[in-house]
């Protein structure tokens, strides 16, 4: 049996996020990942064009300018170039023309590091009249994330239209949404909860519908339901009218979201009537997969003349991981009642055993010596526990459950994994050989303003 841990810092500069949000229309940084046939990402970055190289060199030359606004603007523009600007900034930080230029270059490098963890992945794609698969391959390569398709032979069976993408340093999710709109594709999590899956489907969230991209998060209004009923009989007829708005959150694979909630700040129909319920408070968002979350809010029933929700404005309050400990245990099928503690996190792996066609892991998480907030996040570890075969291929989670812990004796938890690859049995993983858990060590709350407009009413 082998036990090992590795600590990863996921976010260095989350505190700067709130200050960076001056308007909801602009992409803003937020903290941070990882069937269907799988396309693995490549590490190679897009080649730097001669024009971009010249622009970067010119901006580096302005880091020591006498004018403050010129220096500040140059630094901000260099950060927008992302990793393409890193070599030039590293040279400037070591051998800049003066102390101001060196200091600015060092600051820009720190902002780049923050953006890698917490900001949107900026992609550059110049492809004309190519198959959709070529574009998806390039987008996910630059996002350094795998993706799947459903059915696995999607692009072979349905090549689809040829597409054109011509963008420079745009948020990954914005470009992905645009490509899906052009080609009639969508992104799903139900076929493989660990990676985004491309399917041939239009007119549904998260890629279709009223939405906006905020940094590495896409928020989309997915459904709106209105209903009315009357209870007859008795001393007086009782009537009730309901309106419910549902929305989805799609996260970049690098984002590690633990929990979240939102509070509506302004909801108004096209007749100027407020639709916020009296006494409305916080609403929880629900985890569908590591990268897909959902939420809903009950609203005042719209008036007869209303045809649209003119404005839906809310603040998302997200709890994100900023530091993770990766715990790995080998020879997992032979583990019995193995207890481990990482920092304040203490847990017991009771067993991993065959369960029908799958494998069931049973664990206990202990509340002491954690704080109440830590315990709330730790006691439901559904998202980041994996079973992998000898070749490091993950088994697919299929079900799970558990509870308890309020009496201080620990919460029991189980999860079932299947050796399936969603339609490609010859590529299915083998039996479990390793346990892996991205164990959250530190978290931070981040507030993100969102605004959706012009949502049709039924």
Over 70: is that where the pLDDT of 230 sits?
yes
DSSP code per residue over 37-90: EEE----PPPPPPHHHHHHHHHHHHTTT-SSHHHHHHHHHHHHHTGGGGHHHHH
Over 60: is that where the pLDDT of 79 sits?
yes
Q: Structurally, what CATH architecture does the domain formed by 50-117 represent?
A: Alpha Horseshoe (1.25)
State pLDDT tens for residues 149-186.
988 888 887 667 899 999 988 999 999 999 999 999 99
Q: Which one of 3.60.21, 3.40.50, 2.40.128, 2.60.40 gives the CATH number of domain 218-231+238-322+445-456?
A: 2.60.40
Average pLDDT, rounded, for the chain: 82
Q: How much is the pLDDT for 34? A: 33
- The pLDDT-based confidence of 233 (bands split at 50, 70, 90) is low
Over 60: is that where the pLDDT of 35 sits?
no
The residue among 223, 219, 191 whose CA lies nearest residue 207 is: 219
Residue 282 is given by DSSP the state -
The percentage of residues in the chain with a pLDDT greater than 70, rounded to a whole number, is 82
Q: What whole-number distance in Å separates Cα of residue 263 and Cα of residue 52?
A: 42
Over 60: is that where the pLDDT of 46 sits?
no
**Inter-residue contact 428 to 152 (CB < 8 Å):** no
List % helix, strand, coil for the chain (3-state, nearest 5): 25, 45, 35
| Portions of the chain given CATH number 2.60.40 | 218-231+238-322+445-456
Predicted TM-score (pTM) of this structure: 0.75
Return the SS3 of 132. Answer: helix
When mean pLDDT is compared across 335-339, 389-393, 423-427, 444-448, the lowest value belongs to 423-427
The percentage of residues in the chain with a pLDDT greater than 90, rounded to a whole number, is 37
When mean pLDDT is compared across 64-73, 165-174, 388-397, 420-429, the lowest value belongs to 420-429
When mean pLDDT is compared across 228-237, 239-248, 324-333, the lowest value belongs to 228-237
The residue with greater pLDDT, 236 or 212, is 212
Distances (CA, A) of 210 to 13, 233, 350, 456: 30, 42, 46, 9
Q: What whole-number distance in Å separates Cα of residue 53 and Cα of residue 197?
A: 35
Return the SS3 of 380. Answer: coil
**Inter-residue contact 3 to 340 (CB < 8 Å):** yes
**Inter-residue contact 78 to 89 (CB < 8 Å):** yes
Tokens 């700040």 appear where? 265
Over 60: is that where the pLDDT of 423 sits?
no
The residue among 49, 9, 53 whose CA lies nearest residue 32 is: 9
Q: How much is the pLDDT for 361? A: 95
Q: How much is the pLDDT for 382? A: 56
**Inter-residue contact 105 to 92 (CB < 8 Å):** yes
Over 60: is that where the pLDDT of 8 sits?
no
DSSP code per residue over 411-451: EEEEEEEE---SS-GGG---S--EEEEEEEEEEEEEEEEEE
Q: What whole-number distance in Å separates Cα of residue 319 and Cα of residue 260?
A: 6
Quote the Cα angle for 83-89-95, to 5°: 155
Tokens 């949107």 appear where? 120
Is 106 exposed, middle or buried, given 0-12, 13-18 or 19+ CB atoms closer than 10 A? middle
Cα torsion 45, 47, 49, 55 to 10°: value is 30
State pLDDT tens for residues 321-371.
877 888 999 999 999 999 998 888 889 999 999 999 899 999 998 888 777
Rounded mean pLDDT, 186-198? 84
| Portions of the chain given CATH number 1.25.10 | 50-117
When mean pLDDT is compared across 36-50, 65-79, 130-144, 352-366, the lowest value belongs to 36-50
**Inter-residue contact 35 to 192 (CB < 8 Å):** yes
Over 70: is that where the pLDDT of 23 sits?
no
- The sign of the CA dihedral 93, 99, 103, 104 is negative
Over 70: is that where the pLDDT of 229 sits?
yes
Candidate ranges 52-56, 155-159, 229-233, 321-325; pick with highest mean pLDDT: 52-56
**Inter-residue contact 150 to 213 (CB < 8 Å):** no
Rounded mean pLDDT, 383-394? 86
Distances (CA, A) of 132 to 76, 180, 424: 33, 9, 22
Q: How much is the pLDDT for 199? A: 92
Q: What whole-number distance in Å separates Cα of residue 25 and Cα of residue 180?
A: 20
The residue among 120, 271, 296 whose CA lies nearest residue 220 is: 296
**Inter-residue contact 266 to 311 (CB < 8 Å):** yes
**Inter-residue contact 368 to 408 (CB < 8 Å):** yes
């Amino acid at each position: 049996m082998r036990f090992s841990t590795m600590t990863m810092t996921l976010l260095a500069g989350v505190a700067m996020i709130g200050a960076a949000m001056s308007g909801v229309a602009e992409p803003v940084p937020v903290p941070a990942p990882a069937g269907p046939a799988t396309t693995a990402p490549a590490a190679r970055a897009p080649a730097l064009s001669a024009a971009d190289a010249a622009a970067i060199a010119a901006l580096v030359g302005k880091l020591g300018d006498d004018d403050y606004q010129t220096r500040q603007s140059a630094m901000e523009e260099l950060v927008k170039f992302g990793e393409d600007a890193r070599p030039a900034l590293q040279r400037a930080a070591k051998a800049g023309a003066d102390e101001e230029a060196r200091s600015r270059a060092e600051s820009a490098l720190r902002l780049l590091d923050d953006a890698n963890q917490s900001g949107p992945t900026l992609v550059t794609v110049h492809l004309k009249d190519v198959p959709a698969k070529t574009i998806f391959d390039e987008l996910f390569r630059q996002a350094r994330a795998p993706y799947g398709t459903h059915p696995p032979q999607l692009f072979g069976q349905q090549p689809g239209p040829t597409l054109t993408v011509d963008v420079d340093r745009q948020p990954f999710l914005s470009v992905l949404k645009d490509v899906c709109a052009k080609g009639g594709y969508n992104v799903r999590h139900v076929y493989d909860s660990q990676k985004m899956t491309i399917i041939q489907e239009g007119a549904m969230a998260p890629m279709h519908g009223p939405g906006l991209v905020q940094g590495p998060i896409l928020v989309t209004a997915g459904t709106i339901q209105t209903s009315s009923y009357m209870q007859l009989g008795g001393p007086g007829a009782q009537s009730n009218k309901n309106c419910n708005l549902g929305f989805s959150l799609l996260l970049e694979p690098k984002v590690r979201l633990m929990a979240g909630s939102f509070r509506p700040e302004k909801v108004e129909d096209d007749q100027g009537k407020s639709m916020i319920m009296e006494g409305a408070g916080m609403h929880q968002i629900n985890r569908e997969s590591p990268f897909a979350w959902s939420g809903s809010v009950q609203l005042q029933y719209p008036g007869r003349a209303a045809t649209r929700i003119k404005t839906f404005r809310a603040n998302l309050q997200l709890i994100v991981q900023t530091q993770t400990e990766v715990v790995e245990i080998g020879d997992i099928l032979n583990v019995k009642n193995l207890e481990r503690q990482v920092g304040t996190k203490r847990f017991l792996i009771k067993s991993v055993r065959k369960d029908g066609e799958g494998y069931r892991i049973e664990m206990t998480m202990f509340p002491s010596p954690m704080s109440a907030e830590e315990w709330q996040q730790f006691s439901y570890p559904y998202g980041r526990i994996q079973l992998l075969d000898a070749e490091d291929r993950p088994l697919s989670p299929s079900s799970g459950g558990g509870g308890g812990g309020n009496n201080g004796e620990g919460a029991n938890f189980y999860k079932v994994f299947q050796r399936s690859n969603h339609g490609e049995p010859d590529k299915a993983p083998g039996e479990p050989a390793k346990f892996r858990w991205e164990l959250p060590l530190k978290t931070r709350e981040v507030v993100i303003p969102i605004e959706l407009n012009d949502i049709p009413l039924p």
